Structure 1
Amino acid sequence: MHKQITYTGMIWLLAAQLVVMLPFVFDLPLWLIPVLLFAAGWRLRVLSGAALQPGNVTKALLIGLGIGGLVLSGLKFPSLDAMATLLLLGFAFKSLEVAQRRDAIVVIFIGYFLVALHFLYAQSITAALYGMVSMIVLTGALVGVQQSVAEFSAAQQVRFNLRLSVFMLLQCLPLMVVIFVFAPRLAPLWSLPMTTQQVKTGVADRMAPGDIEKLSQSDALAFRVTFKGRKPAQHELYWRGLVFNHFDGREWRQFEQDIDSQQVQSALLTNYRWQADAIKVQGEPIAYEVVYEKTGQPWLFTLTPAMEVDGEVLRGADYRVMARQALQAPFLLKAVSYPDSQRDLELAPELRQLALELPETGDARTRALAQQLWRETGTEQAYLDRVLARFRDQRFEYTLKPPTLGASDTIDAFLFESQRGFCSHYAGSFVFLMRAAGIPARVVVGYQGGEWNAAGEYLAIHQYDAHAWAEVWLTGQGWVRVDPTTVVAPSRTEQGLEAAMQAEGSFLADSMFSVRKIAWLNGIRQQLDTVQYGWRRWVLGYDGAEQAALLKSLLGTFSVQGVALLMGGLLAAIGLLWLVLLGMTPRREREALEHQLYRRFCAALAKRGVLREPGDAPGVFAAQAAEALPAVAGVIREFTQVYEGICYAPSADGQQATRRLKALLGQLK
């Protein structure tokens, strides 16, 4: 026979459901929470007798409405978002028919699964801590639904359930650590596609005036870098991501056709393959590890050229590094770059053609200017210097608030009219001027600089570090990086965007409550970021290579037999610990508090000359002691009466009775 769930047990269950569902509202439809609250309210009214149990027709109608809401949310099928939303919908509606413990246990087990499911959306240390809280509340609900009647007051019951759930989960902690450290790191056997609900962040696959400026107003983290040796100077930190070759008069793109990331991968594997022999390696290597944040995009950012790369990535002839899948979780990359190397001393014809493309018409004034400057200079380097000098001498301004340039002739509008812009304006117009003079050039987009965290000894690159610069191909030198922004605002690459925008006051102007603007809060932010990076690096970055290195350090030489013996020993130790904690080994029973107080009562009377015989009942001994000690007779009788009440007729408030015993005992000393 299945026992009915109590009203208190139902409260525990509904609280657990709310705690489990709450973090999903940041990734899935917000209307799931009102659905849960509606179902919870109905169930509570049923338990209190104010409403009837929903019938089959009502249940079918609610399910239909839920599925309709799911369809109207625009989620694609099949996808992780759609499956998770469907599961959460069932999780919420299940509370409508919970009447017995069996039903409640099913809901709780689904809750455990949902806690694990949320780690597909967030893997931060904050998400892990919240997951622990969810597990504690779920386990407390599991304890609560098993209770038939309240044995304590409401506050005591909450403390008891939570204390027991914490104790139960702590017992699982050693086994969890062993599984995490020693379980093989296997690749997933299958996956569901993420949907557009997973908003893409970071640098986009195209660039128009205003795009990068928008990123500059975000302090979201892009990636963190740990250097194995020398940390490069700030002006050397150009994190290459995408290369834009095609310009349609307003927008820069990777290729003439608008293709997706999968087609870009195909291009990198066919027409634009990585050519290591096109690089003349020279200079000092820079070894580093990068942990990228989830962006929903496959673009990776490295120092150029990255000669050694450890990870599942693709490299292209334009020296980009690209993940094989969009980043839906933190991604670790180890690389060694040689920034002083010469690249493409002989430029392939197809790359030269890409680097010289211009629209057939438009921006006539810029084309005329390029021809004029080329006639006046006549050499590549002299022409390049002349263009940079024009940016400097004509007092162009670097600003996060550039004016609009219109729908056509945007290069002309910038160079001859507004002369106020961000890095994308300068890089795009510079490349246009190079190509108009017949010099191969292209726009490179990524990040520049970063914030050094002294406590964690790593570099943090944020979205406001997004940057665009140019590459020019020069005879005898190959591809050379040229950043026209440095001519207009040298502090941008030397000290960062905040220093460059200090006079304008536009740095993070949209983030009114940014902690970066308050020194002591910014220090706390960096300390917390250090902890988060440690979590990213050593927990989320614990892959097969890290596991093999750890096992080798523990065992000396890696072998299946050695790992099996080590795991066996650890599991045996955990089993022994469980035997002790669960009381399966002989142990002395702890004496109840009231009995401890009675022994101290008898000892206090013995000091006054009244000894209790082993066979004397508390009442008999109290009568003898009261007769022998009339001065404290009232205290003796009351103490004995309260003690007998606890032993033979316990009240709801046992703590008050024990406190009274302590007070009376104090009067005898």
Structure 2
Amino acid sequence: MIDKHYKISQQITYRGMIWLLAAQLVVMLPFAFFLPIWLIPVMLVATYWRIRVIKGNAAQPKLLLNLFILALGVAGIWVSGMRLLSLDAMVSLLLLGFAFKSLEVIRQRDALVVVFIGYFLVAVGFLFSQSILAGAYGVVALIILTAALIANQQSSAQQLSQNATRSNLGLSTMMLFQCLPLMILVFVFMPRFSPLWVIPSFESQAKTGVTDTITPGDIANLAKSDELAFRVSFKGQRPAQHELYWRGLVLNNFDGKSWQQLDNAYDSFELGMYYDQHMPWSETNITQQGEPLEYDVIYEKTGQPWLFTLTPSLTLDKQVKQLGDYRIMAKNDVVTPFLLNAKTYPNAKRDLNLGEQTRRLALALPSRGDNKTREAAKQWRAESASDEDYVNKVMTRFTEKEYYYTLKPPLLGNSNTIDKFLFESQRGFCVHYAGSFVYLMRAAGIPARMVVGYLGGEWNEAGQYLAVRQYDAHAWAEVWIKGQGWKRYDPTGMVSPSRVESGLEEALSHEGSFLEGQFFSAQKFEWLDGIRKKMDSIQYGWRRWVLGYDSESQANLLQTILNKMSSIPLAALVGALFIGIFLFWFVMLGLLKRQRYESYEHQLYRKFCKRLAKHGIIREQQQTPSEFAVIASSQWPEKSDTIRSFSLIYQQICYVDNADQAHDQSFKKMRQLLSELR
């Protein structure tokens, strides 16, 4: 039976507004990690202003003031440097409207608009992060939003109940829990269709990781970050650490300071077209040798199309593009976690016959500069019996001379950088060594190119996968040898073998520069390392089995089920699942129905009777409040005024239709009278 005093008030109550503002803050908070952080103070100011309005200490903002505030918000987004048609700008505008909406919430229907926008923003948040923590936070946000929705449909008496907050949160949680079985069933069996539209990505500033133009300091900066790049699980035996060269980009052009893919500025689409026309992908250029290696990779979002694989990778997903220089590209920028299944032949020979276009790119040098290196290359090549002998001579030089591997090399300026590194500073990072090595090869007329990507990775024993992070970024060289094709050479390994065999941390142990800018990095504290690996293992499982559950995974699961079951048992299983869900709902709804609500005035009167009972004044079940007040006053004359006043107020609330605001004053008076009976 519905309490006769419960009614849907058009005017939003103070407690309902507090619930609404709390829900807004919870929804907006995670966006501070991805969008301008000043959006949160804007929300707090709007909240403070709205509370003052409810208390009567400030006036409701007028139309012109609302427009002025909105204009300031739009100007703030523009000053923040976001493009007008970008995802970040659109979401920021939506968040501004969400925050400012609280200033004009007067009626319950206004509160409904805010709650429904909040639901939409919870979903939008997964465009920025799809981690397991983001999923858990999204569930919390849904619970609080639903609790705010419930609170704004309650009367003032219900909101003032002592257990109102707990009751609202409990009911909200129970509603979500009731939806869980159907959510799982829909997730597993609902067909997955390609989206009818996608959100365009304009955020160049969101690009992370290895880029298509490299100067020596770029990879050194990446080496100071422990951000995850991708995770790999192998189908079979894991290769040795020194064999894990994750190829990303091939850089052919050197302008005297930086390395880039080509001598012109190409975007990812134009680059793919260029390689299709001049150096198309062909499996006939590969001579397969040895056993293949199969593995799965889950890439983190980078805003770039580059994917990192072992070379050469032959069996790949249809969503990727293979280029003639053996790099792998996604057909679109990687803006969400990306799963790739690949197969590689580590011992295969590549390009035994070198194309003319590829040869030209692999021999290109600037027209001037680094004369000392050019002369040295000619002299050393004349002293060598073959190209391979010359390559080994240059590699040996890095061990014979006093070269050092460091994250803190001296600056080389803008000209003659190869000369200064090879013959003066002799201190550098992998790009210094790979770049100077490729230059020496080309100066001697031997085709060579720089390859950038990642080397090695950290094995997670709990999850049985390899985690590759930004500090694993690396650069090495490829040299074309007649009769052998492209061969990998890593001059960094000659200077610092521990970088190739054991990783960056051990290679830099002598100077202590590994992750020096991150004091609380888990790699620096042994007690944090185990926790980090366990959390990372859980996150990997989430990415692989939840985010990676696509149409192909669903088809494989259904095919497995269909192969094991005939049509009749399968139909019976599906029917049983749905029947089970409906039975679960009926049981839960029946349990909820038993939880009868007790109005706040009845709760206070029950306390009133208990306090009188402690003094021996017992209320009989058939006695009305008026009759009991007369009897209690006669038995406790010192408190007769208090007893009569409390009973009178209680009866007025029960039988007189007063406004909610009047009820608030009555409840306050009843609590004061109760305190006098202690």
Bin for the TM-score computed over the shorter chain? 0.7 to 0.9
Q: Which residue of 2 aligns with 1:354?
A: 361
Q: Which amino acid aligns with 1:314?
A: K
Q: Which residue of 1 aligns with 2:87?
A: 80
SS, match of residue 339 in structure 2? strand
| 148-157 vs 188-197, which moves further | 148-157
| 207-216 vs 178-187, which moves further | 178-187
- 1-side partners of 2:193 and 2:389: how far apart? 56
- 2-side partners of 1:131 and 1:151: how far apart? 27
SS, match of residue 467 in structure 1? strand
Aligned residue among 555, 563, 583 for 1:548: 555
Q: Which residue of 1 aligns with 2:370?
A: 363
SS, match of residue 310 in structure 1? coil
SS, match of residue 124 in structure 2? helix
Q: Which residue of 2 aligns with 1:201?
A: 208
Deviation at 1:401, TM superposition (A): 0.8
Give 1:271-310 correspondences, 5 Å limit: 271-310=278-317
Q: State whether structure 2 residue 76 is matched by structure 1 residue 66.
A: no
Is the 8 Å Cα contact of residues 79 and 194 (structure 1) preserved in structure 2? yes
Deviation at 1:231, TM superposition (A): 0.3
SS, match of residue 283 in structure 1? coil
Give 1:494-533 correspondences, 5 Å limit: 494-533=501-540
Is the 8 Å Cα contact of residues 50 and 102 (structure 2) preserved in structure 1? yes
Q: Which residue of 2 aligns with 1:601?
A: none
Q: State whether structure 2 residue 551 is matched by structure 1 residue 535.
A: no
Deviation at 1:67, TM superposition (A): 2.5
- 2-side partners of 1:155 and 1:489: how far apart? 68
- 2-side partners of 1:242 and 1:285: how far apart? 22
Aligned residue among 5, 14, 17 for 2:24: 17
Give 1:358-507 correspondences, 5 Å limit: 358-507=365-514
Q: Which amino acid aligns with 1:324?
A: K
Aligned residue among 278, 303, 326 for 2:333: 326
Q: Which residue of 2 aligns with 1:598?
A: none
Counting matched residue pairs gives: 613
Aligned residue among 72, 94, 99 for 1:92: 99
SS, match of residue 355 in structure 1? helix
Distance change (3 Å), C-alpha of 1:487 and 1:154: farther
SS, match of residue 335 in structure 1? strand
Q: State whether structure 2 residue 183 is matched by structure 1 residue 176.
A: yes
| 174-183 vs 568-577, which moves further | 568-577
Deviations 1:274-311 (A, max 9, x none): 11000000012110000000111111000000011124
Distance change (3 Å), C-alpha of 1:617 and 1:82: closer
- 1-side partners of 2:551 and 2:350: how far apart? 34
Deviation at 1:72, TM superposition (A): 3.0
Is the 8 Å Cα contact of residues 81 and 194 (structure 1) preserved in structure 2? no
Is the 8 Å Cα contact of residues 552 and 558 (structure 1) preserved in structure 2? no
Q: Which amino acid aligns with 2:104?
A: E
- 1-side partners of 2:593 and 2:129: how far apart? 45
SS, match of residue 121 in structure 1? coil
Aligned residue among 238, 245, 252 for 2:252: 245
Deviations 1:295-341 (A, max 9, x none): 11111000000011124000111000000111111000000000100
Q: Which residue of 2 aligns with 1:255?
A: 262
Give 1:159-170 correspondences, 5 Å limit: 159-170=166-177
Is the 8 Å Cα contact of residues 241 and 302 (structure 1) preserved in structure 2? yes
Distance change (3 Å), C-alpha of 1:214 and 1:586: closer
Structure 1 unaligned blocks of 5 or more = 595-614, 620-640, 657-669
Q: Which residue of 2 aligns with 1:28?
A: 35
Taking only aligned residues, the RMSD between alpha carbons, in angstroms, comes to: 3.0
SS, match of residue 340 in structure 2? strand
SS, match of residue 445 in structure 2? coil
Deviation at 1:133, TM superposition (A): 0.8
Is the 8 Å Cα contact of residues 555 and 562 (structure 1) preserved in structure 2? no
Q: Which residue of 1 aligns with 2:53?
A: 46
Distance change (3 Å), C-alpha of 1:303 and 1:148: same
Is the 8 Å Cα contact of residues 218 and 463 (structure 1) preserved in structure 2? yes
Q: Which residue of 1 aligns with 2:64?
A: 57
| 31-40 vs 510-519, which moves further | 31-40
Deviation at 1:127, TM superposition (A): 0.5
Is the 8 Å Cα contact of residues 476 and 490 (structure 2) preserved in structure 1? yes
Q: Which residue of 2 aligns with 1:141?
A: 148
SS, match of residue 446 in structure 1? strand
- 2-side partners of 1:79 and 1:398: how far apart? 41
SS, match of residue 209 in structure 2? coil
- 2-side partners of 1:418 and 1:77: how far apart? 46
Distance change (3 Å), C-alpha of 1:575 and 1:323: same
Q: Which amino acid aligns with 1:278?
A: N
SS, match of residue 5 in structure 1? coil
Distance change (3 Å), C-alpha of 1:590 and 1:401: closer
| 268-277 vs 288-297, which moves further | 268-277
Q: Which amino acid aligns with 1:302?
A: T
Deviations 1:62-98 (A, max 9, x none): 2222233333333223222222112111111111111
Is the 8 Å Cα contact of residues 232 and 296 (structure 2) preserved in structure 1? yes
| 241-250 vs 563-572, which moves further | 563-572
- 2-side partners of 1:198 and 1:473: how far apart? 36
Deviation at 1:565, TM superposition (A): 6.7
- 1-side partners of 2:572 and 2:273: how far apart? 46
- 2-side partners of 1:18 and 1:124: how far apart? 21
Is the 8 Å Cα contact of residues 398 and 494 (structure 2) preserved in structure 1? yes
| TM-score normalised over the length of structure 2 | 0.85
Q: Which amino acid aligns with 1:405?
A: L
Deviation at 1:198, TM superposition (A): 5.2
Deviation at 1:555, TM superposition (A): 3.1
Distance change (3 Å), C-alpha of 1:581 and 1:617: same
Q: Which residue of 2 aligns with 1:623?
A: none
Deviation at 1:34, TM superposition (A): 2.1
- 1-side partners of 2:71 and 2:440: how far apart? 61
Aligned residue among 118, 121, 134 for 1:127: 134
Q: Which residue of 1 aligns with 2:636?
A: none
SS, match of residue 155 in structure 2? coil
Deviations 1:205-259 (A, max 9, x none): 1111211110000000000000001100000000000000011111111001021
Deviations 1:327-374 (A, max 9, x none): 111000000000100000000111011100001110000000001101
Structure 2 unaligned blocks of 5 or more = 1-7, 604-619, 625-642, 655-665, 672-678
Q: State whether structure 2 residue 226 is matched by structure 1 residue 219.
A: yes
- 2-side partners of 1:384 and 1:81: how far apart? 49
- 1-side partners of 2:490 and 2:162: how far apart? 65
Is the 8 Å Cα contact of residues 9 and 155 (structure 2) preserved in structure 1? no
- 2-side partners of 1:463 and 1:293: how far apart? 11
Deviation at 1:463, TM superposition (A): 0.3
- 1-side partners of 2:54 and 2:36: how far apart? 29
Is the 8 Å Cα contact of residues 268 and 317 (structure 1) preserved in structure 2? yes
Is the 8 Å Cα contact of residues 50 and 103 (structure 2) preserved in structure 1? yes
Q: Which residue of 2 aligns with 1:660?
A: none
Aligned residue among 340, 343, 361 for 2:347: 340
SS, match of residue 201 in structure 1? coil
SS, match of residue 174 in structure 1? helix
Q: State whether structure 2 residue 217 is matched by structure 1 residue 210.
A: yes
Identical residues among aligned pairs (%): 56
Distance change (3 Å), C-alpha of 1:217 and 1:561: farther
